[in-house]
Chains A and B, each alone.
Chain A
């Protein structure tokens, strides 16, 4: 596993999170949610520490992290881009929009640009189907996006 040093202060914070959930292995998913908020992602070191604190194997933690799509082991870009690929967005042309993002950013889905500015991912339905196709960048939601708009949207960042 890659060696990323977690700063001492954050280690304490992570221990604190585990403690808040009574170091209960049944709360693993809640712990992981909080840890991901703290670190932005879940690198191996974080998983090892959580395993130790909750008294379960690292394999068990890793198994849970990789099972759920919400958890990521890679850092996201400063502006995470998500393209909604729910059915409603799909039939209204989300695929073309995704292709355009991929072409302009030169990354695949799940990757981050070299400068760490953008990361690209797909998600299933944000529930704003009236605005399909929908793209979210950080907290901002873009509705009725067409492939031509992509360049302009990226230009805002």
Chain B
């Protein structure tokens, strides 16, 4: 293998690829060649660094200089200044927005300080398309250890001791699941990796598959050995082309190295992995629906029991785990169950990956120990609310979760605390909202999603959610009566209690949690006909303050429907019967003369 003095790591996750990271790589290579450095410095495309807000990210190794928002035009300067002259390119370094201090090493950035990376240990560190780099970071040694030194029962005990719980949202103890599948008697069993990440605003699993696909393959093989399966299937969304491509490369390489296939490590253990594609149905995240989808059927869930561990794919015992759960397995095997269970809270061990997004300064992918508070995540790691606005709510658990508020900020995050506060862990989406977000509209947004994604098999979910959505629509249009709020809550509870699968049982959560935590906002919509956040169009109108308007005509020119009239240098007025409430005029006004009422 060629030896290089320096490495330039360029994030090649989906987010950074959308911001021209490929061109950056090309330009860096060109600049290195022109300066005769291509034998000494290697450019590596890595998985996601997590700091998506300031992408594309470029990191220099070994000195760990962390450059942000790099453009293809910066490549030459990075090579000339950083590598040749040894001077940091200050304008591309991260600036702490509070202290205005320049931070060059990512270790000292608020975003990374509180993170512990287990599932993401290799993301942003290795080239995911090169198996050697994974092996150099202890890759596949956990598989070797299990195959050579442990019986399936012993290996399962390590997982049980670790206290690892399913990271897809349910939080079922992983070791127990494996044990149940092991105990099911059958000639043929299957290991399934659930990579059908459907929560809008969540991209943990995708980033792991893009940044460290081998960790998932290794863990699936370990699982196969433990439960007695020789076939693994990854069910992945067709919307993740990059993750699919890297997974395919990883499978090929692992086969070439004899780490998948027949007689792995000469132990007689056979295991291979195939890919199955999803086709865009949120309900397929539910394990029975997922199994039906893999069988070429409509992805409709069925009643459990029988659980997949008894009767799953093709009627055989099947163990389904989520991507992040699998990514935790190799380090647990290598470092031991006790090490893992020393991290986290009493009932939730280890770390959790969250996709932090919304109105927060540092959007990105983070991994924190269980028990970290929401405040630490949003304000210390996330850098607080965008534009200095006021924090209003954080939504966890996607369409199945709830909105938490200011008073929940200091609760340590774990499975049980989140459920007790009216939300749930979910797969790890975390969307931050500020004072401008209307909570009724938010609940409506999630219901729209559920209505669209309901498979239609059971009536409470198919019909109930539709009605729930209509009631919310009525509220945002200012047409609801006071009694409607009681009906809304009653219907939500019925859907929760009577739906067939997890999708329907949790779909009213966004409604119930916003009703609990933001009751005054619902009341304002219904009783006063007002939307306190100024988001519900039907309940507001734009007006021009004639004292502040100088008649610059900017607003009337930007108005798409010519609703604004007035002579030059005289105050303008908005014709509310024509106005479509797009807000363009307010954004353009330089004098703060336009407001919403």
Q: Which residues of A are at the interface with B, using a C-beta cutoff of 8 A?
A: 24-30, 32-33, 63-64, 67-71, 85-92, 96, 99, 103, 123-132, 134, 141, 143, 147-148
Q: How far is the CB of A91 from chain B (nearest CB, A)?
A: 5
Q: Which residue of B lies closest to A71 (CB)?
A: B279
Q: Which residue of A lies closest to B53 (CB)?
A: A130
A28 to B294 CA separation, bound complex (whole angstroms): 9
Q: Which residue of A lies closest to B437 (CB)?
A: A91
Q: Which residues of B are at the interface with A, using a C-beta cutoff of 8 A?
A: 14-15, 17-19, 52-55, 198-203, 206-207, 238-240, 276-282, 293-299, 314, 355, 357-359, 363-364, 395, 398, 429, 431, 433, 437, 442, 445-446, 449, 452, 455, 560, 582-584
| Residues of chain A within 8 A of B363, CB atoms compared | 88, 129-130, 132
Shortest 10 CB-CB contacts between residues of A and residues of B: A130-B52, A68-B279, A127-B203, A88-B357, A86-B200, A28-B296, A141-B18, A70-B280, A69-B280, A87-B201
| Residues of chain B within 8 A of A96, CB atoms compared | 582-583
Instruction: Select which of A69, A86, A131, A143 is within 8 A of B281 by beta carbon.
Output: A69
Instruction: Select which of B199, B298, B429, B582 is within 8 A of A63 by beta carbon.
Output: B298
Q: How far is the CB of B240 from chain A (nearest CB, A)?
A: 8
Q: Which of A67, A96, A123, A131 has the most CB of B within 10 A?
A: A67
Supposing A70-B238, A88-B357, A147-B582 touch, asked if A125 and B15 sit within 8 A by C-beta, the answer is no
Q: How far is the CB of B200 from chain A (nearest CB, A)?
A: 4
| Residues of chain A within 8 A of B355, CB atoms compared | 129
Instruction: Select which of B54, B207, B357, B455 is within 8 A of A87 by beta carbon.
Output: B357
Q: How far is the CB of A74 from chain B (nearest CB, A)?
A: 15
Show 25 residue pairs from A and B whose CB-CB distance is below 8 angstroms, ordered by the A residue: A26-B295, A29-B279, A29-B293, A30-B276, A67-B298, A68-B281, A68-B299, A70-B239, A85-B200, A87-B200, A87-B398, A87-B429, A88-B358, A90-B200, A90-B445, A91-B433, A103-B560, A124-B200, A124-B449, A127-B15, A129-B355, A130-B15, A130-B52, A130-B364, A131-B52
Report whether A32 and B279 are in contact in the complex, using a CB–CB cutoff of 8 Å.
Answer: yes
Supposing A68-B299, A124-B200, A148-B584 touch, asked if A87 and B364 sit within 8 A by C-beta, the answer is no
A90 to B239 CA separation, bound complex (whole angstroms): 19
| Residues of chain A within 8 A of B238, CB atoms compared | 33, 70
A141 to B338 CA separation, bound complex (whole angstroms): 45
Supposing A71-B279, A87-B431 touch, asked if A129 and B583 sit within 8 A by C-beta, the answer is no
| Residues of chain A within 8 A of B201, CB atoms compared | 86-89, 125, 129
Q: Which residue of B lies closest to A60 (CB)?
A: B297
| Residues of chain B within 8 A of A91, CB atoms compared | 358-359, 431, 433, 437, 442
Report whether A147 and B584 are in contact in the complex, using a CB–CB cutoff of 8 Å.
Answer: yes
| Residues of chain A within 8 A of B52, CB atoms compared | 128-131
Q: How far is the CB of B318 from chain A (nearest CB, A)?
A: 14
| Residues of chain B within 8 A of A125, CB atoms compared | 199-203
A30 to B297 CA separation, bound complex (whole angstroms): 11
Report whether A131 and B279 are in contact in the complex, using a CB–CB cutoff of 8 Å.
Answer: no
Report whether A129 and B277 are in contact in the complex, using a CB–CB cutoff of 8 Å.
Answer: no
| Residues of chain A within 8 A of B14, CB atoms compared | 126-128
A67 to B456 CA separation, bound complex (whole angstroms): 10
Report whether B239 and A123 are in contact in the complex, using a CB–CB cutoff of 8 Å.
Answer: yes
Supposing A70-B238, A130-B15 touch, asked if A64 and B357 sit within 8 A by C-beta, the answer is no
A27 to B277 CA separation, bound complex (whole angstroms): 10
Report whether A25 and B296 are in contact in the complex, using a CB–CB cutoff of 8 Å.
Answer: yes
Q: Which residue of B lies closest to A129 (CB)?
A: B357
Instruction: Select which of B198, B277, B297, B358 is within 8 A of A92 by beta carbon.
Output: B358
A99 to B581 CA separation, bound complex (whole angstroms): 11
Report whether A131 and B280 are in contact in the complex, using a CB–CB cutoff of 8 Å.
Answer: no
A125 to B442 CA separation, bound complex (whole angstroms): 16
| Residues of chain A within 8 A of B53, CB atoms compared | 130
Q: Which of A91, A96, A141 has the most CB of B within 10 A?
A: A91
Q: How far is the CB of B68 from chain A (nearest CB, A)?
A: 11
| Residues of chain A within 8 A of B297, CB atoms compared | 28, 64
Q: How far is the CB of A121 from chain B (nearest CB, A)?
A: 11
Instruction: Select which of A87, A92, A131 is within 8 A of B19 by beta carbon.
Output: A131
Q: How far is the CB of A24 from chain B (nearest CB, A)?
A: 8
Q: Which of A24, A88, A92 has the most CB of B within 10 A?
A: A88
| Residues of chain A within 8 A of B239, CB atoms compared | 70, 123, 126
A71 to B280 CA separation, bound complex (whole angstroms): 8
A91 to B433 CA separation, bound complex (whole angstroms): 7
A53 to B28 CA separation, bound complex (whole angstroms): 51
Q: Which residue of A lies closest to B279 (CB)?
A: A68
Supposing A69-B280, A87-B429 touch, asked if A131 and B296 sit within 8 A by C-beta, the answer is no
| Residues of chain A within 8 A of B364, CB atoms compared | 130
| Residues of chain B within 8 A of A124, CB atoms compared | 198, 200, 282, 449
| Residues of chain B within 8 A of A130, CB atoms compared | 15, 52-55, 357, 363-364
| Residues of chain A within 8 A of B299, CB atoms compared | 67-68
| Residues of chain B within 8 A of A27, CB atoms compared | 296
Q: How far is the CB of B437 from chain A (nearest CB, A)?
A: 6
Instruction: Select which of A30, A87, A132 is within 8 A of B277 by beta carbon.
Output: A30
| Residues of chain B within 8 A of A128, CB atoms compared | 14-15, 18, 52
Supposing A69-B281, A85-B200, A91-B437 touch, asked if A131 and B358 sit within 8 A by C-beta, the answer is no
| Residues of chain A within 8 A of B293, CB atoms compared | 29
| Residues of chain B within 8 A of A64, CB atoms compared | 296-298
| Residues of chain A within 8 A of B359, CB atoms compared | 91-92
A25 to B314 CA separation, bound complex (whole angstroms): 12
A126 to B16 CA separation, bound complex (whole angstroms): 12
Report whether A26 and B296 are in contact in the complex, using a CB–CB cutoff of 8 Å.
Answer: yes
Instruction: Select which of B203, B294, B295, B445 is within 8 A of A129 by beta carbon.
Output: B203
Q: How far is the CB of B583 from chain A (nearest CB, A)?
A: 7
Q: Which of A27, A29, A30, A126 has the most CB of B within 10 A?
A: A29
